[in-house]
Chains A and B, each alone.
Chain A
Amino acid sequence: MELAWYALLGLFFATYLVLGGYDYGVGLLLAHGATEERRRAALTAVGPFFLGNEVWLVAAAGILLGAFPALEGELLAGYYPAVAGALVGVVLVNAGVQLRSRPRTRSARARWDRVVVAGSVLAALGWGALLGGLLQGLPLHPDGHVDGVGHLFTPFVAATALAVLALVALQGATFLTLRLPAAGAATLTRVARRLVPVALAAVGTATVLGLLSARVRAAVARPAVAVLLLFVLVAALLAARAALGRGRPGVAFAATGAALALPVALVGAALWPRILVSTVDPAASLAVVDGAASGPTLSLLGWLALPLLPALLGFQAMCWWIFRERTDGRAPVYW
């Protein structure tokens, strides 16, 4: 029961990273020497999906609160700066994308675009720091309090944050190669291809720092799974590069999406059965099962929420289907 909910939580958060990832990736690319027209075209490509992407985060947080209340409190409060930083980023991107085209002057729009860029950076770094922080454990005491916030400022956490930033930028670029009019997509293919080695280098750095960190080695309960998933991640990145070279943007997007989802699976599987690993008192570590809500709550949520899942996914699929084509001169423009 707990495992099913844990998997569902992972699924929602990973999907958020995949879908929100290209929102933020496109947000980052707004800084990439683009003209107002090109920025507008990029946001039009995200257009109809934007609002439906961020709800995966809202829902993941809802599952966390409903199905894992004890975990929710300790997780968010324990990694306060990472979560709050990511949240500020999400808020900035949300407000920036939705409001940037409401003023008419170019200068006001350019200012909002900088807000979107800053927000995208913060969101990617924040979630990356949270994933890295989980792998490294935290100074958690049995009464639930955590010593300060210094545990988040380590080279390994910085490296994972940067790795997620690189993956997000790549994801945004492959998304645009898939959605922009074919003419505009060519330049983006080049950008995406150049981002693959950057992402590989960032993931490699994080891996090396993780192997060197005693805390990470102590926290990871299943190193074999972690290494296996890392290989899959690298393979996905290489596949993305090959697909871009062969003009298969759909495959490339699927591959970079997988690369963003894999870190979530890696953290969940490598730490299992624990999720919060205490670096000061092993007995204070929190296992997933202990962080979960009690039986009646879980079964209530199961009866109420799970039957609705097909409908939720159905409406998302409907949105993807309606707007599945490349944008063109007649695509609705609003952001």
Chain B
Amino acid sequence: MDTLFLARLQFAATTSIHFLFVAVTLGLVTLLVGLQTAGFVTGKPVYERLTRFWGQLYVINYALGIATGLVMEFQFGLNWSGLARYVGNVFGAPLAIETLVAFFLESTLLGMWIFGWHRLRRGVHLALLWGVALTAYASAYWVLVGNAWLQHPVGYELRDGVAHLTDFTALLTNPTLGFALGHVISASLVTGGLLMAAVSAWHLLRRTPDFLLFRTSLRLGLLTAGVAVVFLLGFGFAQFGPVGQLQPTKFGGGPDRDALVAGWVTRFGPGDYTPPTLSDVGLGFMILIGFGLFLGLLLLPLLWRDQIIRLRFPLWLVLLALPLPFVAVLLGWIAREVGRQPWAAYGLLPVERAVSPVGPGVMLASLIGFALLLGALAVTNWTLIARHAARGAADPALGRPPAPETDTRPHSVFA
């Protein structure tokens, strides 16, 4: 096994795990902002309970977002030093901005949000969550600016084989960026919404206490996923435009592709410039799942007079559909990333020049180590999420009021 193959496998494994968690993060944080804002405006206690329950699941999920994200970030230097060497002047900038502008603030604010319950003024506490959500969206944006550049390099010039930045706005208006961003965000909202709906459906099916609370979150989750799935399909089909035009080797053939490949053969020498069929298969299944979820819109009228809860079987459908978005996001990324093979930066930097010059032994140890570590942590994390979801909203640790003081000085809860 060669270093290149192992490095690609490691990247695919770790990014996939990362994305399974960040899709939930991005979706849930949006819903949480809605819940906590509603609680702030209406003052109804049910919203605070909802925020604490879903916030608890969100925070557990976040732990792996960070852990896997750190591995991703270092992997560029560890395994893909050629990427930094040849195109780092351009590709590094959006990722650097992302870490400084988005992640740095996101985690700092989240730490204060977790520990700020009953301690900060309610307005400040709510503002912190808004900050967390905005920076999470900012991070999705900047990371996709980086990814879109690898899909379609723009705004650079080559000097001595090294790319130098000439036009940063070209990166921000990259035609492979906009629709992908919309598609990724709607996919995350579908994932987060369906997760919320499925957990609520489970509680309603089991007839656990808190009927009203889970009824509310079932409706919120389903409506969010329902609206988002329309945008998801819209942005999905819209992506075929730029992809077909700019990456003719990705899905299928045609004269465009042959011309492009002929050009590459003269510039980079003969070679196999067609991506593995894996990407087309991924695309097909994802679209199938997309239509399946779209059919789920038929459930929405059943929200009227709680038919959906009384009939019960629709709740089963919601529960069983939960794995679908997770499968689809992975297939979507496989379509996008495998589809640009054999290029690390499309038409500019072949993967074998991007990979680090380290021995296969080191790479294999690294692959096994990180895949086992992150895989085990992912499974543990999902188990914990499932247990906390099943435990219900009676007393989540997040936002638990502090123990009563031993001395009896009066104090208000939101001092």
Contacts and interface: CB of A to CB of B under 8 A. Distances in A.
Interface of A: 47-52, 54-59, 61-67, 69-70, 72-77, 80-81, 83-84, 87-88, 90-92, 94-95, 98-99, 101-103, 143-146, 148-149, 293-294, 296-297, 300-301, 304-305, 308, 311-312, 315-316, 318-319, 322-323, 329-334
A323 B403 CA distance: 18
Given A76-B77, A293-B88, 19 more contacts: A52-B107, A55-B108, A59-B99, A59-B104, A65-B76, A72-B77, A72-B92, A90-B70, A99-B384, A149-B362, A300-B93, A311-B105, A316-B108, A319-B112, A322-B119, A332-B114, A332-B115, A332-B119, A334-B398
Contacts of B77: 61, 64-65, 72-73, 75-77, 83
A318 B112 contact: yes
A58 B377 contact: no
Contacts of A67: 92, 96
Contact of A72 (B84, B110, B118, B120): B84
Given A84-B369, A95-B67, A73 B92 contact: no
A95 B377 contact: yes
Nearest to B118: A332
Contacts of A73: 77, 80-85, 88, 356
B408 interface: no
A184 B380 CA distance: 33
B108 A87 contact: no
A76 B81 contact: yes
A2 to B, nearest CB: 13
B355 to A, nearest CB: 10
B63 A98 contact: yes
7 contacts: A51-B108, A59-B99, A66-B96, A80-B78, A94-B70, A300-B168, A329-B406
Given A76-B81, A81-B362, A84-B78, A312 B110 contact: no
Contact of B74 (A69, A83, A149): A83
A58 B104 contact: yes
Contact of B78 (A83, A101, A311): A83
Interface in B384-402: 384, 387-388, 397-398, 400, 402
B382 to A, nearest CB: 12
Contact of A95 (B63, B103, B369, B388): B63
Contact of A297 (B66, B76, B165, B406): B165
B405 A329 contact: yes
Contacts of A63: 96, 99-100
A70 B88 contact: yes
Contact of B115 (A48, A58, A149): A48
Nearest first, the 7 closest Cβ-Cβ pairs linking A and B are A69-B88, A66-B96, A62-B99, A73-B81, A76-B77, A51-B111, A145-B357
Interface of B: 59-60, 62-64, 66-67, 69-71, 73-74, 76-85, 88-93, 95-101, 103-112, 114-120, 164-166, 168, 356-359, 362, 366, 369-370, 373-374, 377, 380-381, 384, 387-388, 397-398, 400, 402-403, 405-406
B101 A308 contact: yes
A182 to B, nearest CB: 16
Contacts of A305: 96-97, 100-101
A58 B108 contact: no
A95 B64 contact: yes
Contact of B89 (A61, A64, A293, A311): A293
Contacts of A77: 77-79, 81, 356-358
Contacts of B76: 65, 72
Contacts of A103: 384, 387
Contact of A148 (B98, B359, B370): B359
A301 B85 CA distance: 18
A134 B98 CA distance: 27
Nearest to B115: A48
Contacts of B69: 58
Contact of B111 (A70, A297, A319): A319
A91 B373 contact: yes
Nearest to A299: B165
A141 to B, nearest CB: 9
A115 B96 CA distance: 30
Contacts of A316: 108
Contacts of B80: 73
A58 B111 contact: no
Contacts of B83: 73
A143 to B, nearest CB: 7
B157 to A, nearest CB: 10
Contacts of A91: 67, 70-71, 373-374, 377
Given A99-B384, A323-B115, A54 B107 contact: yes
A333 B64 CA distance: 20
B116 A322 contact: yes
A23 B409 CA distance: 34
Nearest to A300: B168
Given A77-B81, A330-B403, A332-B402, A52 B92 contact: no
Contacts of A75: 77
A74 B83 CA distance: 11
B114 A293 contact: no
A322 B97 CA distance: 27
Q: Which interface residue of B67, B90, B107, B406 has the most chain A CB atoms within 10 A? A: B67
A330 B402 contact: yes
A76 B99 contact: no
Contacts of B95: 62, 65-66
A239 to B, nearest CB: 30
Given A77-B356, A95-B63, A315-B108, A294 B164 contact: yes
Contacts of A90: 70
Nearest to A309: B100
Given A312-B100, A332-B118, A332-B402, A65 B108 contact: no
Contacts of B101: 304-305, 308
A291 B404 CA distance: 57
Contact of B107 (A47, A51, A143, A304): A51
B67 A94 contact: yes
Contacts of A80: 78, 358, 362, 366
A316 B392 CA distance: 34
A19 B355 CA distance: 33
A323 B112 CA distance: 9
